[in-house]
Structure 1
Protein backbone atom coordinates (compact mmCIF):
# COMPACT_ATOMS: atom_id res chain seq x y z
CA UNK A 1 0.00 0.00 0.00
CA UNK A 2 2.88 2.35 0.78
CA UNK A 3 4.26 1.89 -2.76
CA UNK A 4 0.95 2.87 -4.35
CA UNK A 5 0.62 5.97 -2.19
CA UNK A 6 4.21 6.95 -2.85
CA UNK A 7 3.82 6.45 -6.60
CA UNK A 8 0.52 8.37 -6.64
CA UNK A 9 2.20 11.29 -4.90
CA UNK A 10 5.11 11.17 -7.34
CA UNK A 11 2.71 11.04 -10.30
CA UNK A 12 0.56 13.90 -9.00
CA UNK A 13 3.59 16.08 -8.37
CA UNK A 14 5.36 15.46 -11.68
CA UNK A 15 2.98 14.34 -14.46
CA UNK A 16 1.96 17.79 -15.76
CA UNK A 17 5.54 19.01 -15.71
CA UNK A 18 6.82 15.93 -17.57
CA UNK A 19 4.00 16.28 -20.09
CA UNK A 20 4.93 19.93 -20.66
CA UNK A 21 8.60 19.04 -21.13
CA UNK A 22 7.85 16.24 -23.58
CA UNK A 23 5.35 18.34 -25.49
CA UNK A 24 8.03 21.00 -25.90
CA UNK A 25 10.51 18.37 -27.07
CA UNK A 26 8.34 16.61 -29.65
CA UNK A 27 5.76 19.23 -30.61
CA UNK A 28 2.64 17.07 -30.45
CA UNK A 29 0.47 17.11 -27.36
CA UNK A 30 -1.35 13.90 -28.29
CA UNK A 31 1.89 12.00 -28.87
CA UNK A 32 3.36 13.47 -25.70
CA UNK A 33 0.32 12.35 -23.68
CA UNK A 34 0.59 8.81 -25.05
CA UNK A 35 4.32 8.60 -24.40
CA UNK A 36 4.03 10.04 -20.88
CA UNK A 37 1.24 7.61 -20.01
CA UNK A 38 3.38 4.71 -21.22
CA UNK A 39 6.41 5.99 -19.29
CA UNK A 40 4.46 6.26 -16.03
CA UNK A 41 3.07 2.76 -16.56
CA UNK A 42 6.60 1.46 -16.97
CA UNK A 43 7.70 3.43 -13.91
CA UNK A 44 4.94 1.81 -11.85
CA UNK A 45 6.00 -1.66 -13.06
CA UNK A 46 9.57 -0.89 -11.91
CA UNK A 47 8.74 1.41 -9.03
CA UNK A 48 11.00 -0.40 -6.56
CA UNK A 49 14.06 0.50 -8.63
CA UNK A 50 12.81 3.77 -10.18
CA UNK A 51 12.19 5.38 -6.80
CA UNK A 52 15.85 4.74 -5.92
CA UNK A 53 17.09 6.72 -8.95
CA UNK A 54 18.68 10.13 -8.39
CA UNK A 55 15.66 11.61 -10.17
CA UNK A 56 12.63 9.40 -10.84
CA UNK A 57 11.17 12.30 -12.83
CA UNK A 58 14.20 12.34 -15.12
CA UNK A 59 13.82 8.58 -15.54
CA UNK A 60 10.18 9.00 -16.59
CA UNK A 61 11.01 11.91 -18.89
CA UNK A 62 13.77 9.89 -20.60
CA UNK A 63 11.54 6.87 -21.03
CA UNK A 64 8.72 9.04 -22.38
CA UNK A 65 11.06 10.62 -24.89
CA UNK A 66 12.33 7.21 -26.04
CA UNK A 67 8.74 5.95 -26.35
CA UNK A 68 7.80 8.97 -28.47
CA UNK A 69 10.87 8.61 -30.70
CA UNK A 70 10.22 4.88 -31.06
CA UNK A 71 6.62 5.55 -32.11
CA UNK A 72 7.85 8.13 -34.59
CA UNK A 73 10.41 5.69 -36.03
CA UNK A 74 7.76 3.00 -36.38
CA UNK A 75 5.50 5.42 -38.22
CA UNK A 76 8.32 6.50 -40.54
CA UNK A 77 9.29 2.88 -41.21
CA UNK A 78 5.67 1.95 -41.88
CA UNK A 79 5.34 4.86 -44.31
CA UNK A 80 8.61 3.96 -46.04
CA UNK A 81 7.54 0.33 -46.40
CA UNK A 82 4.19 1.45 -47.76
CA UNK A 83 5.87 3.70 -50.32
CA UNK A 84 8.26 0.90 -51.34
CA UNK A 85 5.35 -1.46 -51.75
CA UNK A 86 3.45 1.06 -53.87
CA UNK A 87 6.51 1.75 -56.01
CA UNK A 88 6.80 -1.97 -56.77
CA UNK A 89 3.18 -2.26 -57.84
CA UNK A 90 2.17 -1.64 -61.39
CA UNK A 91 -1.16 0.11 -61.47
CA UNK A 92 -2.90 0.14 -64.78
CA UNK A 93 -4.50 3.34 -65.91
CA UNK A 94 -8.20 3.66 -65.36
CA UNK A 95 -10.08 3.32 -68.60
CA UNK A 96 -13.27 5.03 -69.62
CA UNK A 97 -14.98 1.63 -69.58
CA UNK A 98 -13.85 0.99 -66.02
CA UNK A 99 -15.19 4.33 -64.87
CA UNK A 100 -18.50 3.68 -66.65
CA UNK A 101 -18.88 0.22 -65.08
CA UNK A 102 -18.11 1.53 -61.59
CA UNK A 103 -20.56 4.39 -62.04
CA UNK A 104 -23.25 2.00 -63.29
CA UNK A 105 -22.61 -0.40 -60.40
CA UNK A 106 -23.17 2.45 -57.95
CA UNK A 107 -26.59 3.06 -59.48
CA UNK A 108 -28.00 -0.44 -58.93
CA UNK A 109 -29.35 -1.75 -55.62
CA UNK A 110 -26.76 -3.01 -53.14
CA UNK A 111 -27.95 -6.65 -53.18
CA UNK A 112 -27.77 -6.77 -56.97
CA UNK A 113 -24.40 -5.01 -57.03
CA UNK A 114 -22.99 -7.48 -54.53
CA UNK A 115 -23.97 -10.59 -56.51
CA UNK A 116 -22.89 -9.07 -59.84
CA UNK A 117 -19.47 -8.24 -58.42
CA UNK A 118 -19.09 -11.63 -56.71
CA UNK A 119 -20.07 -13.47 -59.89
CA UNK A 120 -18.41 -11.43 -62.62
CA UNK A 121 -15.42 -9.89 -60.87
CA UNK A 122 -14.62 -12.39 -58.13
CA UNK A 123 -15.65 -15.41 -60.20
CA UNK A 124 -17.87 -17.16 -57.65
CA UNK A 125 -20.59 -19.59 -58.68
CA UNK A 126 -24.23 -19.02 -57.77
CA UNK A 127 -23.92 -21.65 -55.03
CA UNK A 128 -20.80 -20.00 -53.60
CA UNK A 129 -22.48 -16.59 -53.66
CA UNK A 130 -25.57 -18.03 -51.94
CA UNK A 131 -23.36 -19.38 -49.16
CA UNK A 132 -21.42 -16.13 -48.80
CA UNK A 133 -24.43 -13.83 -48.71
CA UNK A 134 -26.66 -16.23 -46.80
CA UNK A 135 -29.38 -16.37 -49.45
CA UNK A 136 -31.19 -19.04 -51.42
CA UNK A 137 -29.52 -19.85 -54.79
CA UNK A 138 -32.73 -18.86 -56.60
CA UNK A 139 -32.64 -15.48 -54.86
CA UNK A 140 -29.05 -15.07 -56.02
CA UNK A 141 -30.05 -15.95 -59.60
CA UNK A 142 -32.86 -13.41 -59.48
CA UNK A 143 -30.61 -10.68 -58.10
CA UNK A 144 -27.98 -11.53 -60.68
CA UNK A 145 -30.46 -11.34 -63.57
CA UNK A 146 -31.99 -8.09 -62.32
CA UNK A 147 -28.53 -6.65 -61.62
CA UNK A 148 -27.32 -7.47 -65.12
CA UNK A 149 -30.41 -5.86 -66.68
CA UNK A 150 -30.08 -2.75 -64.53
CA UNK A 151 -26.36 -2.55 -65.20
CA UNK A 152 -26.92 -2.89 -68.95
CA UNK A 153 -29.56 -0.19 -68.88
CA UNK A 154 -27.28 2.21 -66.98
CA UNK A 155 -24.35 1.47 -69.26
CA UNK A 156 -26.54 2.10 -72.29
CA UNK A 157 -27.74 5.38 -70.74
CA UNK A 158 -24.14 6.39 -69.99
CA UNK A 159 -23.11 5.60 -73.54
CA UNK A 160 -26.01 7.64 -74.86
CA UNK A 161 -25.18 10.55 -72.56
CA UNK A 162 -21.45 10.45 -73.30
CA UNK A 163 -22.00 10.76 -77.05
CA UNK A 164 -23.91 13.97 -76.43
CA UNK A 165 -26.27 13.12 -79.20
CA UNK A 166 -29.89 12.38 -79.32
CA UNK A 167 -31.62 9.29 -80.43
CA UNK A 168 -33.06 9.37 -83.85
CA UNK A 169 -36.73 8.61 -83.99
CA UNK A 170 -38.36 7.17 -87.04
CA UNK A 171 -41.55 8.97 -87.79
Structure 2
Protein backbone atom coordinates (compact mmCIF):
# COMPACT_ATOMS: atom_id res chain seq x y z
CA UNK A 1 0.00 0.00 0.00
CA UNK A 2 1.43 3.33 -1.05
CA UNK A 3 1.34 6.08 1.56
CA UNK A 4 0.16 9.57 0.88
CA UNK A 5 2.69 12.40 0.39
CA UNK A 6 1.73 13.77 3.79
CA UNK A 7 3.10 10.84 5.80
CA UNK A 8 3.43 12.09 9.39
CA UNK A 9 6.91 12.33 10.86
CA UNK A 10 7.98 12.60 14.50
CA UNK A 11 9.28 15.96 15.76
CA UNK A 12 12.93 16.79 14.94
CA UNK A 13 14.12 16.04 18.47
CA UNK A 14 12.40 12.65 18.40
CA UNK A 15 14.09 11.82 15.09
CA UNK A 16 17.49 12.43 16.55
CA UNK A 17 16.62 10.54 19.75
CA UNK A 18 15.49 7.47 17.80
CA UNK A 19 18.69 7.48 15.75
CA UNK A 20 20.90 7.79 18.82
CA UNK A 21 18.91 5.09 20.66
CA UNK A 22 19.66 2.72 17.77
CA UNK A 23 23.41 3.64 17.99
CA UNK A 24 23.37 5.00 14.45
CA UNK A 25 25.49 7.92 13.31
CA UNK A 26 24.25 10.53 10.90
CA UNK A 27 26.57 9.10 8.25
CA UNK A 28 25.15 5.59 8.69
CA UNK A 29 21.58 6.85 8.52
CA UNK A 30 22.46 8.87 5.43
CA UNK A 31 23.82 5.72 3.77
CA UNK A 32 20.58 3.89 4.47
CA UNK A 33 18.51 6.71 3.04
CA UNK A 34 20.80 7.38 0.10
CA UNK A 35 21.40 11.03 1.03
CA UNK A 36 24.25 13.07 2.45
CA UNK A 37 24.98 13.57 6.12
CA UNK A 38 24.18 17.28 5.81
CA UNK A 39 20.68 16.37 4.63
CA UNK A 40 20.12 14.15 7.68
CA UNK A 41 21.39 16.94 9.90
CA UNK A 42 18.86 19.40 8.45
CA UNK A 43 16.07 16.85 8.93
CA UNK A 44 16.95 16.40 12.59
CA UNK A 45 17.27 20.13 13.18
CA UNK A 46 13.86 20.84 11.62
CA UNK A 47 15.16 23.18 8.93
CA UNK A 48 13.93 20.89 6.14
CA UNK A 49 11.72 17.81 5.81
CA UNK A 50 11.85 15.05 3.19
CA UNK A 51 9.19 14.77 0.53
CA UNK A 52 7.70 12.10 -1.67
CA UNK A 53 9.11 8.58 -1.54
CA UNK A 54 12.05 9.72 0.55
CA UNK A 55 9.63 10.96 3.19
CA UNK A 56 7.85 7.61 3.19
CA UNK A 57 11.13 5.70 3.52
CA UNK A 58 12.30 7.99 6.33
CA UNK A 59 9.00 7.60 8.19
CA UNK A 60 9.18 3.81 7.82
CA UNK A 61 12.74 3.75 9.12
CA UNK A 62 11.85 5.89 12.14
CA UNK A 63 8.88 3.66 12.82
CA UNK A 64 11.15 0.61 12.80
CA UNK A 65 13.58 2.30 15.17
CA UNK A 66 10.72 3.22 17.51
CA UNK A 67 9.48 -0.37 17.53
CA UNK A 68 12.95 -1.65 18.31
CA UNK A 69 13.27 0.83 21.15
CA UNK A 70 9.91 -0.13 22.65
CA UNK A 71 10.74 -3.84 22.32
CA UNK A 72 13.73 -3.50 24.61
CA UNK A 73 13.13 -5.33 27.87
CA UNK A 74 15.00 -2.93 30.17
CA UNK A 75 15.85 0.73 29.61
CA UNK A 76 19.54 1.43 29.25
CA UNK A 77 21.18 4.62 30.54
CA UNK A 78 21.92 7.23 27.92
CA UNK A 79 25.63 7.07 27.02
CA UNK A 80 27.80 10.14 26.81
CA UNK A 81 28.18 11.15 23.19
CA UNK A 82 31.23 13.07 22.03
CA UNK A 83 31.44 14.32 18.46
CA UNK A 84 34.49 13.14 16.55
CA UNK A 85 35.72 14.83 13.42
CA UNK A 86 37.86 12.86 10.99
CA UNK A 87 39.55 14.51 8.07
CA UNK A 88 39.69 13.46 4.46
CA UNK A 89 41.72 10.40 3.74
CA UNK A 90 40.43 8.58 6.80
CA UNK A 91 37.95 5.68 6.67
CA UNK A 92 35.06 8.00 7.49
CA UNK A 93 35.13 11.62 6.45
CA UNK A 94 31.96 12.61 8.29
CA UNK A 95 31.22 13.37 11.91
CA UNK A 96 30.71 10.21 13.92
CA UNK A 97 29.62 9.58 17.50
CA UNK A 98 31.97 8.01 19.99
CA UNK A 99 30.24 6.08 22.77
CA UNK A 100 32.48 5.73 25.79
CA UNK A 101 32.88 1.99 26.54
CA UNK A 102 31.75 0.77 29.90
CA UNK A 103 35.07 -0.97 30.48
CA UNK A 104 36.64 2.46 30.90
CA UNK A 105 34.26 3.18 33.78
CA UNK A 106 33.71 1.46 37.15
CA UNK A 107 31.29 -1.42 36.65
CA UNK A 108 30.20 -4.39 38.73
CA UNK A 109 30.28 -7.58 36.63
CA UNK A 110 28.47 -10.75 37.60
CA UNK A 111 30.47 -13.51 39.27
CA UNK A 112 31.85 -16.06 36.86
CA UNK A 113 30.25 -19.02 38.61
CA UNK A 114 26.78 -17.56 38.19
CA UNK A 115 27.01 -17.66 34.37
CA UNK A 116 26.23 -20.66 32.28
CA UNK A 117 29.08 -22.06 30.26
CA UNK A 118 27.11 -21.94 27.05
CA UNK A 119 25.73 -18.48 27.78
CA UNK A 120 27.68 -15.72 25.99
CA UNK A 121 29.09 -12.99 28.14
CA UNK A 122 26.79 -9.97 27.94
CA UNK A 123 28.18 -6.84 26.40
CA UNK A 124 28.96 -4.10 28.93
CA UNK A 125 26.29 -1.45 29.08
CA UNK A 126 27.19 2.22 28.97
CA UNK A 127 26.74 3.99 32.28
CA UNK A 128 25.89 7.55 33.10
CA UNK A 129 28.83 9.84 33.86
CA UNK A 130 29.17 12.75 36.21
CA UNK A 131 29.86 16.17 34.68
CA UNK A 132 33.51 15.97 35.74
CA UNK A 133 33.97 12.52 34.19
CA UNK A 134 32.27 13.60 30.96
CA UNK A 135 34.48 16.70 30.79
CA UNK A 136 37.63 14.66 31.42
CA UNK A 137 36.65 12.21 28.67
CA UNK A 138 36.03 15.04 26.22
CA UNK A 139 39.32 16.71 27.19
CA UNK A 140 41.42 13.58 26.82
CA UNK A 141 39.79 12.79 23.49
CA UNK A 142 39.92 16.21 21.84
CA UNK A 143 43.02 17.87 23.28
CA UNK A 144 45.76 16.18 21.18
CA UNK A 145 44.13 17.03 17.85
CA UNK A 146 43.14 20.53 18.91
CA UNK A 147 46.65 21.38 20.11
CA UNK A 148 48.11 20.25 16.78
CA UNK A 149 45.54 22.24 14.83
CA UNK A 150 46.17 25.37 16.87
CA UNK A 151 49.91 24.95 16.37
CA UNK A 152 49.38 24.95 12.59
CA UNK A 153 47.18 28.00 13.00
CA UNK A 154 49.69 30.06 15.01
CA UNK A 155 53.09 28.39 14.63
CA UNK A 156 53.64 28.66 18.40
CA UNK A 157 53.66 25.64 20.70
CA UNK A 158 53.01 27.38 24.01
CA UNK A 159 50.28 29.55 22.53
CA UNK A 160 48.61 26.45 21.08
CA UNK A 161 48.66 24.70 24.45
CA UNK A 162 47.42 27.78 26.29
CA UNK A 163 44.64 28.40 23.76
CA UNK A 164 43.28 24.87 24.04
CA UNK A 165 43.45 24.86 27.83
CA UNK A 166 41.73 28.25 28.00
CA UNK A 167 39.03 26.99 25.62
CA UNK A 168 38.40 23.94 27.81
CA UNK A 169 38.28 26.17 30.89
CA UNK A 170 35.60 28.22 29.17
CA UNK A 171 33.82 24.99 28.26
CA UNK A 172 33.84 23.88 31.90
CA UNK A 173 32.40 27.23 32.95
CA UNK A 174 29.59 26.73 30.40
CA UNK A 175 29.41 22.94 30.72
CA UNK A 176 25.59 22.57 30.56
CA UNK A 177 25.59 24.36 27.21
CA UNK A 178 28.60 22.41 25.91
CA UNK A 179 27.20 19.06 27.08
CA UNK A 180 23.99 19.65 25.12
CA UNK A 181 25.80 20.87 22.02
CA UNK A 182 25.68 18.61 18.98
CA UNK A 183 29.43 18.99 18.42
CA UNK A 184 31.20 19.75 21.73
CA UNK A 185 34.64 19.39 20.14
CA UNK A 186 33.65 21.99 17.54
CA UNK A 187 32.46 24.29 20.34
CA UNK A 188 35.86 24.08 22.04
CA UNK A 189 37.70 24.38 18.72
CA UNK A 190 35.96 27.65 17.86
CA UNK A 191 36.88 29.15 21.25
CA UNK A 192 40.49 27.98 20.97
CA UNK A 193 40.87 29.43 17.46
CA UNK A 194 39.39 32.77 18.53
CA UNK A 195 41.77 33.00 21.50
CA UNK A 196 44.82 32.00 19.42
CA UNK A 197 44.07 34.51 16.64
CA UNK A 198 43.20 37.39 18.98
CA UNK A 199 45.01 40.58 17.96
CA UNK A 200 45.93 41.19 21.62
CA UNK A 201 48.33 38.25 21.49
CA UNK A 202 50.88 40.34 19.58
CA UNK A 203 51.29 42.70 22.57
CA UNK A 204 52.37 39.93 24.94
CA UNK A 205 56.16 39.94 25.51
CA UNK A 206 56.34 36.17 25.16
CA UNK A 207 54.88 36.27 21.64
CA UNK A 208 57.26 38.94 20.37
CA UNK A 209 60.14 36.49 20.07
CA UNK A 210 60.00 33.70 17.46
CA UNK A 211 59.99 30.08 18.59
CA UNK A 212 62.36 27.41 17.22
CA UNK A 213 61.08 26.25 13.81
CA UNK A 214 60.50 22.57 12.95
CA UNK A 215 63.64 20.53 12.44
CA UNK A 216 62.67 19.15 9.04
CA UNK A 217 63.28 21.68 6.20
CA UNK A 218 60.13 20.62 4.37
CA UNK A 219 57.99 21.04 7.48
CA UNK A 220 59.59 24.41 8.15
CA UNK A 221 58.85 25.60 4.61
CA UNK A 222 55.24 24.44 4.78
CA UNK A 223 54.64 26.06 8.16
CA UNK A 224 56.19 29.37 7.06
CA UNK A 225 54.08 29.35 3.90
CA UNK A 226 50.96 28.65 5.92
CA UNK A 227 51.72 31.44 8.39
CA UNK A 228 52.10 33.95 5.56
CA UNK A 229 48.42 33.61 4.73
CA UNK A 230 45.97 36.08 6.28
CA UNK A 231 44.46 34.73 9.52
CA UNK A 232 40.98 34.30 8.02
CA UNK A 233 42.30 32.45 4.96
CA UNK A 234 44.56 30.32 7.14
CA UNK A 235 41.69 29.36 9.44
CA UNK A 236 39.40 28.51 6.52
CA UNK A 237 42.07 26.36 4.86
CA UNK A 238 42.80 24.53 8.11
CA UNK A 239 39.13 23.80 8.83
CA UNK A 240 38.32 22.60 5.33
CA UNK A 241 41.49 20.83 4.17
CA UNK A 242 42.93 20.01 7.58
CA UNK A 243 40.02 19.19 9.90
CA UNK A 244 37.68 18.03 7.14
CA UNK A 245 34.64 20.23 7.64
CA UNK A 246 32.35 20.86 4.69
CA UNK A 247 31.93 24.33 3.26
CA UNK A 248 28.72 25.37 5.13
CA UNK A 249 30.18 24.24 8.47
CA UNK A 250 33.42 26.08 7.73
CA UNK A 251 31.49 29.24 6.89
CA UNK A 252 29.43 28.96 10.07
CA UNK A 253 32.47 28.46 12.31
CA UNK A 254 34.34 31.37 10.73
CA UNK A 255 31.19 33.56 10.90
CA UNK A 256 31.15 34.18 7.16
CA UNK A 257 28.79 33.46 4.31
CA UNK A 258 29.30 30.35 2.22
CA UNK A 259 30.48 32.30 -0.88
CA UNK A 260 32.93 34.29 1.26
CA UNK A 261 34.31 31.09 2.80
CA UNK A 262 34.66 29.56 -0.69
CA UNK A 263 36.58 32.60 -1.93
CA UNK A 264 38.90 32.50 1.08
CA UNK A 265 39.53 28.80 0.51
CA UNK A 266 40.31 29.29 -3.19
CA UNK A 267 42.66 32.19 -2.48
CA UNK A 268 44.44 30.24 0.26
CA UNK A 269 44.88 27.20 -1.98
CA UNK A 270 46.14 29.38 -4.80
CA UNK A 271 48.69 31.07 -2.52
CA UNK A 272 49.89 27.71 -1.19
CA UNK A 273 50.17 26.26 -4.70
CA UNK A 274 52.13 29.29 -5.96
CA UNK A 275 54.79 28.85 -3.29
CA UNK A 276 54.64 25.04 -3.02
CA UNK A 277 53.37 23.56 -6.31
CA UNK A 278 53.44 20.01 -4.93
CA UNK A 279 50.61 20.96 -2.52
CA UNK A 280 48.11 21.86 -5.25
CA UNK A 281 46.27 18.59 -4.62
CA UNK A 282 44.02 18.92 -1.50
CA UNK A 283 44.72 15.31 -0.51
CA UNK A 284 48.46 15.96 -0.51
CA UNK A 285 47.95 19.18 1.43
CA UNK A 286 45.89 17.38 4.06
CA UNK A 287 48.50 14.66 4.43
CA UNK A 288 51.36 17.15 4.75
CA UNK A 289 49.50 19.20 7.34
CA UNK A 290 48.92 16.07 9.39
CA UNK A 291 52.59 15.13 9.12
CA UNK A 292 53.82 18.56 10.22
CA UNK A 293 51.48 18.58 13.21
CA UNK A 294 52.35 15.00 14.19
CA UNK A 295 56.10 15.61 14.13
CA UNK A 296 55.86 18.21 16.90
CA UNK A 297 55.90 17.20 20.55
CA UNK A 298 53.06 19.18 22.00
CA UNK A 299 52.01 18.82 25.60
CA UNK A 300 48.91 19.75 27.56
CA UNK A 301 47.86 19.77 31.20
CA UNK A 302 45.79 17.06 32.83
CA UNK A 303 41.97 17.41 32.91
CA UNK A 304 41.76 18.01 36.71
CA UNK A 305 44.29 20.81 36.39
CA UNK A 306 42.19 22.50 33.72
CA UNK A 307 39.02 22.13 35.77
CA UNK A 308 40.69 23.54 38.89
CA UNK A 309 42.10 26.45 36.89
CA UNK A 310 38.67 27.20 35.47
CA UNK A 311 37.09 27.16 38.92
CA UNK A 312 39.83 29.42 40.33
CA UNK A 313 39.39 31.91 37.53
CA UNK A 314 35.62 31.88 38.02
CA UNK A 315 36.07 32.55 41.75
CA UNK A 316 38.54 35.34 41.06
CA UNK A 317 36.25 37.15 38.67
CA UNK A 318 33.28 36.63 40.98
CA UNK A 319 35.17 38.16 43.89
CA UNK A 320 36.42 41.00 41.69
CA UNK A 321 32.85 41.75 40.59
CA UNK A 322 31.65 41.71 44.20
CA UNK A 323 34.48 44.03 45.28
CA UNK A 324 33.81 46.43 42.42
CA UNK A 325 30.09 46.46 43.22
CA UNK A 326 30.80 47.12 46.91
CA UNK A 327 33.18 49.97 46.04
CA UNK A 328 30.60 51.47 43.70
CA UNK A 329 27.90 51.27 46.38
CA UNK A 330 30.22 52.86 48.97
CA UNK A 331 31.18 55.69 46.62
CA UNK A 332 27.54 56.37 45.82
CA UNK A 333 26.58 56.42 49.52
CA UNK A 334 29.45 58.81 50.35
CA UNK A 335 28.43 61.10 47.52
CA UNK A 336 24.83 61.19 48.70
CA UNK A 337 25.98 61.87 52.27
CA UNK A 338 28.27 64.79 51.45
CA UNK A 339 26.34 66.36 48.58
CA UNK A 340 24.53 69.70 49.33
CA UNK A 341 20.76 69.55 49.84
CA UNK A 342 19.93 72.90 48.17
CA UNK A 343 21.26 75.05 45.39
CA UNK A 344 23.65 77.85 46.27
CA UNK A 345 24.25 80.25 43.41
CA UNK A 346 27.88 81.16 42.97
CA UNK A 347 29.06 84.65 43.98
CA UNK A 348 29.99 86.73 40.95
CA UNK A 349 33.50 88.11 40.98
CA UNK A 350 33.91 91.85 41.51
CA UNK A 351 34.30 94.14 38.51
CA UNK A 352 35.60 97.71 38.24
CA UNK A 353 32.98 100.22 36.96
CA UNK A 354 34.47 103.23 35.16
CA UNK A 355 32.89 106.69 34.69
CA UNK A 356 31.13 106.87 38.10
CA UNK A 357 32.54 109.23 40.72
CA UNK A 358 33.72 107.49 43.82
CA UNK A 359 31.45 107.59 46.83
CA UNK A 360 32.69 110.18 49.29
CA UNK A 361 32.72 109.73 52.97
CA UNK A 362 29.75 111.25 54.95
CA UNK A 363 30.26 114.74 56.33
CA UNK A 364 28.85 118.29 56.44
CA UNK A 365 27.09 119.59 53.31
CA UNK A 366 28.45 122.54 51.46
CA UNK A 367 26.44 125.70 50.83
CA UNK A 368 25.67 124.60 47.27
CA UNK A 369 24.42 121.20 48.42
CA UNK A 370 22.25 122.82 51.10
CA UNK A 371 20.77 125.17 48.55
CA UNK A 372 20.04 122.34 46.14
CA UNK A 373 18.36 120.29 48.84
CA UNK A 374 16.16 123.19 49.86
CA UNK A 375 15.21 123.80 46.24
CA UNK A 376 14.20 120.15 45.83
CA UNK A 377 12.04 120.34 48.92
CA UNK A 378 10.28 123.59 47.99
CA UNK A 379 9.57 123.09 44.29
CA UNK A 380 6.95 120.66 42.94
CA UNK A 381 8.20 118.01 40.64
CA UNK A 382 6.42 116.80 37.50
CA UNK A 383 4.20 113.78 38.04
CA UNK A 384 1.87 112.75 40.85
CA UNK A 385 2.15 114.34 44.19
CA UNK A 386 4.38 112.71 46.67
CA UNK A 387 2.76 110.88 49.50
CA UNK A 388 4.33 111.58 52.78
CA UNK A 389 3.44 109.35 55.68
CA UNK A 390 2.09 111.23 58.65
CA UNK A 391 1.24 110.27 62.13
CA UNK A 392 -2.50 110.06 62.85
Whether TM-score is above 0.5 comes out as: no
RCO (CA 8 Å, sep 6+): is it higher in 1 or 2? 1
Greater share of helix: 1
Scaled to the shorter chain, the TM-score interval is: 0.3 to 0.5
Which structure has the bigger radius of gyration? 2
